[in-house]
């Protein structure tokens, strides 16, 4: 049998069905579900946080966090099994965030507005409540990792998918800034813009669209916060998703993705121009921080989680 304490191990639905043989007595467990999910370092960072919590609260001594590769068509079946096998909480990543909305008992307002859930919380009556911590992760990455206390007047969101929706709604709902949505497909961009403008809390806000090939740099003279919500940059061969060379000096960059071999191309280029920039690892840390707090009722250490994640990725230590 595989070692159930192996942070790097990817478990499957077949493992879940015999989970009591891997975790005798079925002590509390947590998990991230994705397809694929092998790249995730969530077990390393959250198990480090649980170890620290257990020093103060013995009830968490046997809690462990695992990663499961679950096919989309098996999500409903697996959620029932995770409940049966004493899992206290679940994180969801691609492609499960949107389908899971229809499978939870109750969904938070934040998750409802985004139309996706990434955190499931065990209920007492046989199911899960759904939460979305993406916006929280972005907010903390901007304010803590970049040290930004005042958000620039203009926020540029690259992309028109689920991650872009979450980022744009955070800008409109919490920050109240002008939001510029950049995409290359005009049809997809227009649909995305219409969806944003239909949101009740977006009423009266200023939302603009532009083609990524011709960004309106001249309108951002006072500085801008650029958020890459596309998948461009995940591969080493990917081009930079946005040309930052003409941005004002008081601009900032958040890349929602991260790489095992160091900074993404966007973050590298931004830092070469002496712009403050951070990658998606910061978001991941703060999302995990929020999720673990939801499950345990206790705030973990973001610094311990970041140290564990960097070690797992082979990256130099950095602050959360």
User: Do 106 and 130 meet the contact criterion of CB atoms below 8 Å apart?
Assistant: yes
- Cβ contacts of residue 111 below 8 Å, gap of 6+? 101, 117, 130, 131, 132
Cα–Cα nearest to 99, from 122, 123, 72:
72
Indicate the SS3 state at residue 180.
Answer: strand
Torsion of the alpha carbons at 252, 257, 259 and 262, rounded to the nearest 10: 10
DSSP assignment of 204-245: T--EEEEETTS--GGG-TT-EEEEE-SSTTSSTTPPPSS--T
Q: Which residue among 55, 58, 97, 105 is the active-site one?
A: 97
At 6, phi and psi to the nearest 5? -85, 110
Query: Is 97 annotated in the active site?
Result: yes
Residue with tokens 């939001």: 179
Q: List the catalytic residues.
A: 97
């Amino acid at each position: 049998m595989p070692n159930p304490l192996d942070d790097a191990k990817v478990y499957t639905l077949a493992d879940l069905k015999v989970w009591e043989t891997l975790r005798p007595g079925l002590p509390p467990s947590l998990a991230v579900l994705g397809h694929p999910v092998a790249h995730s370092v969530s077990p390393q960072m959250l198990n480090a946080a649980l170890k620290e919590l257990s020093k103060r609260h013995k009830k968490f001594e046997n809690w462990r966090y695992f990663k499961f590769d679950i096919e989309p068509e098996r999500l409903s079946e697996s959620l029932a099994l995770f409940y049966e096998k004493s899992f206290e909480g679940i994180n969801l990543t691609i492609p499960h965030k949107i389908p899971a909305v229809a499978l939870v008992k109750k969904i938070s307002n934040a998750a409802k507005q985004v139309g996706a859930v990434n955190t499931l919380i065990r209920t007492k009556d046989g199911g899960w409540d759904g939460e979305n911590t993406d916006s929280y992760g972005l907010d903390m990455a901007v304010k803590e990792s970049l040290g930004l206390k005042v958000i620039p007047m203009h926020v540029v969101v690259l992309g028109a998918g689920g991650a872009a929706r979450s980022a744009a709604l955070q800008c409109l709902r919490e920050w109240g800034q002008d939001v510029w949505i950049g995409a290359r497909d005009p049809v997809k961009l227009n649909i995305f813009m219409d969806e944003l403008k239909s949101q009740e809390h977006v009423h009266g806000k200023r939302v603009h669209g532009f083609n990524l090939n011709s960004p309106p740099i001249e309108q951002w003279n006072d500085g801008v916060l650029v958020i890459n919500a596309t998948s461009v940059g995940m591969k080493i061969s990917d081009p930079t998703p946005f040309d930052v060379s003409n941005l004002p000096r008081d601009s900032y960059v958040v890349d929602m993705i991260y790489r095992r071999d160091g900074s993404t191309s966007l973050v590298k280029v931004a830092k070469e121009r002496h712009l403050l920039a951070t990658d998606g690892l910061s978001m991941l840390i703060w999302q995990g921080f929020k999720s673990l707090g939801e499950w345990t009722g206790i705030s973990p250490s973001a610094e311990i989680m970041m140290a564990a994640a960097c070690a797992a990725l082979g990256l130099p230590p950095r602050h959360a």
